[in-house]
Amino acid sequence: MKPEISCEFFPPQTAEGLEKLRATRARLAALAPSFFSVTYGAGGSTRERTFDIIMEIAAEGIAACPHLSCIGSTRENIRKILHDYRDHGIRRIVALRGDLPSGMADVGEFRYANELVAFIRQETGDWFHIEVAAYPEWHPQAKSPREDLLNFKRKVEAGANSAITQFFYNADAYAHFVSEARALGITIPIVPGIMPIGSFAKLARFADASGAEIPRWMRKKFESFGDDTDSIRAFGLDVVTELCDRLLALGAPGLHFYTLNQAGLTLEILRWLGLAG
């Protein structure tokens, strides 16, 4: 069975960025993706922009999947968003706790993602296919790997249909996480999140912020290239393509690409894997 491919975008802040995103989506649409997802800023800071892009994606005939984070929000706010999406025929959603915006002290009426998942089910029944986050290298705020796994299980028990992982570069971490989840009775699909590498400096910032590990051998190799962007891009393509190939061999049900609103690297990786048509 051909693995499912999905792609993630963020809402641009400018008209130029929006046009570039439209061009990116047009190129990636050739993959016949299972869905395109759109992120949601801390505390709902991109609420309208996320909604508008989701509507554009749906109008283009592709399954659109908005992210929705609950931290710093209220049940009434979340209820309105859910009903707006349902009224427009959106059938899939990524349910996240999210980050508290800088300077905001009130966490709102939700504390954890499992509470959001349960609320979505309470409000909309089985209307939405709910995606949740998973962390093969463990959530940076978790007290222990066991606690993180139990948090994941709570999201599943609350009604999640499938999961997308944080990005990582160690296939063994994914295999171990899936094995541990299955041992806890978790049966939902766990799709690896893939971060193509175009800039090592940008990757290092993302990794430091998210707790994802860049293996030492990779970091040293990237550092050895200095400002040689062509070598960084070529090495990044090799690393990520080999990672994807191994993940699929391990039985991953699909690949979810964190595109950063660009198509080139994702398309190149999928061409090398024979999945781009």
What is the Cα–Cα distance from 227 to 64, expressed in whole angstroms? 37
Query: Is 247 within 8 Å of 174 (Cβ atoms)?
Result: yes
Q: Catalytic: 8?
A: yes
The CA-CA-CA angle for residues 42, 155, 6, to 5°, reads 65
Q: H-helix or E-strand containing 178?
A: helix 171-183
In Å, how far are 24, 54, 215, 271 from 263, measured between CA atoms?
5, 18, 25, 12
- Give the closest residue to 37 by CA, choosing from 8, 4, 10: 8
Which residues does 251 contact at the CB level (< 8 Å), separation at least 6?
Answer: 178
Q: Which two tokens stand for residue 84?
A: 């707006």
In Å, how far are 89, 90, 120 from 126, measured between CA atoms?
13, 12, 9
Query: Is 85 within 8 Å of 66 (Cβ atoms)?
Result: yes
**Residues 4, 8, 131, 157: which is the catalytic one?**
8
- Catalytic site residues? 8
